[in-house]
Structure 1
């Protein structure tokens, strides 16, 4: 399986940024790490291995960007307005640098966004903000309401990065063409977030799969089973 490491200076963030890329071609998949995770987490935790058949056969090319969660949502040392503002810069970097590279390398101009836990938030938020660039969104135990991270603060950057707030009134037609999987577990601490998002999608008649694994909790073993299952449906 081909593996490439990329490091570049990002003018958007004003700092270096790192990413691992797996596979030689196919539909690009942006796979986000969990909360404050690094670009090598998916490899170290086995998510890349569990998708190896798809990669080796050229169905997908997986891009694993670094996170800046410690500068954004988890940056409790910063003023609350700084946290969503920094995340908006990250959104811009994913759009311009990561997908810019992925679309050029693969010749595909719509991607799959995926992630586990807080990575599920990143996948969903980017997909719902930019549905014209996304053909599928695969969230495993994601969280979709960021207000608890902001000490009561709220502004436009919060609204436009909080899927449960902006999605109800978003009528971009591309949303109805997106494949959506919401994976969670019966005992998952994020079950409620997934049920809430599923209800919003139901009210909008947006097709999706709320996949609740029986007797499972918020942990890697269920995500390792869900990720290749969801890839197989695309």
Structure 2
């Protein structure tokens, strides 16, 4: 188990952690599943699933805590308030987590972002926002439309700009050209238990792939079979299948 480093959230009396696995190789910023912690990735067997890559010095995982319990999963608050709170998480990633990673790897390097379930949303959204530093995102069993997550209340700018399904569909001009040049998205999803309901990961992933296709952004959609469930054993297999070609 890697050593945990706790870093303050800018402007808030709280901190979030980063845990590293591996000493060399391409750095991967790993987001946990909903309301998860940095330790979950290893505790649920994801590091072990690609241990050969870690041992060979091909990849180094930087796993972060989520802030979902205070943001998207805080269902007592309207969607717009949850989206505003998500901004604090993004600020922590940029101002605290990224410099911490850069210090540990000896300078700024291009990252892969990776996440499962709600973490897939975070991984893809972060790459679309910061393709300059994280040009490749790998999303496993994600739902990419936060407005569909048991939302309520009036939707405003905070939700719009945190929703890849919304803002990407309306992206044009030089910013779209930049995304076409810089960003690559790998979307993986199964058709088995819990990928349809209640997560809606399968239909959301397919719909988001359609948006990427319409915008001409590099992406790959890999749909697994009806036995492929929204669960860790399948994410082990999907990660081991795809990650070797990127590191």
Please classify the TM superposition score into its range, dividing by the shorter chain length: over 0.9
Q: Which has the higher strand share?
A: 1
Instruction: Measure the CA separation in 2 of the matches of 1:136 and 1:222.
Output: 21
| SS at 2:218 equivalent | coil
- Out of 163, 168, 190, which is 1:185 matched to? 190
Residue of structure 2 equivalent to 1:231: 243
How many positions carry a matched residue from both structures?
233
* Cα 1:110/1:12, change in 2 over 3 Å: farther
> How many Å separate the matches in 2 of 1:104 and 1:10?
18
- The match for 2:97 is 98
Report the Cα distance in structure 2 between the residues aligned to 1:88 and 1:51, rounded to whole angstroms. 32
Choose the corresponding residue for 2:214, options 191, 200, 203.
Answer: 203
* Structure 1 residue aligned with 2:75: 76
Once the two structures are TM-superposed, the CA of residue 232 in structure 1 deviates from its matched residue by: 1.2
What is the rounded CA distance, in whole Å, between the counterparts of 1:93 and 1:164 in structure 2? 23
Query: Match for residue 138 of structure 2?
Result: 138
Q: CA deviation at 1:96?
A: 1.8
Is there any run of 5+ residues in structure 1 with no aligned partner, and where? none
Write the distance in 2 (CA, Å) between the matches of 1:196 and 1:148. 13
The aligned counterpart of 1:36 is 35
The structure-2 alpha-carbon separation of the partners of 1:143 and 1:13, relative to structure 1 and needing over 3 Å to count, comes to: farther
How far did residue 133 of structure 1 move?
1.5
For 2:180 and 2:26, how far apart are their aligned partners in 1? 19
Q: Give unpaired runs (5+ residues) of structure 2.
A: none
Asked whether the equivalents of residues 7 and 96 of structure 2 are also in contact (C-alpha less than 8 Å), the reply is no
Q: Does the alignment pair 1:111 with 2:82? A: no
Residues 174, 45 of structure 1: CA spacing in aligned structure 2 closer, same or farther, 3 A cutoff? same
| 1:212-231 map, 5 Å | 212-215=223-226, 216-231=228-243
The separation in 2 between residues aligned to 1:14 and 1:55, in whole angstroms, is: 35
1:164 counterpart residue number: 165
Q: 1:212 to 1:112 in 2, by over 3 A?
A: same
Residue 79 of structure 1 and its aligned partner are, at CA, apart by: 4.3
The range that moved more, 25-34 or 99-108, is 99-108
RMSD: 1.7
Contact 1:34 1:115 (C-alpha < 8 Å) held by counterparts? yes
Tell me what 2:52 maps to: 53
Post-superposition shift, 1:214? Answer: 1.3
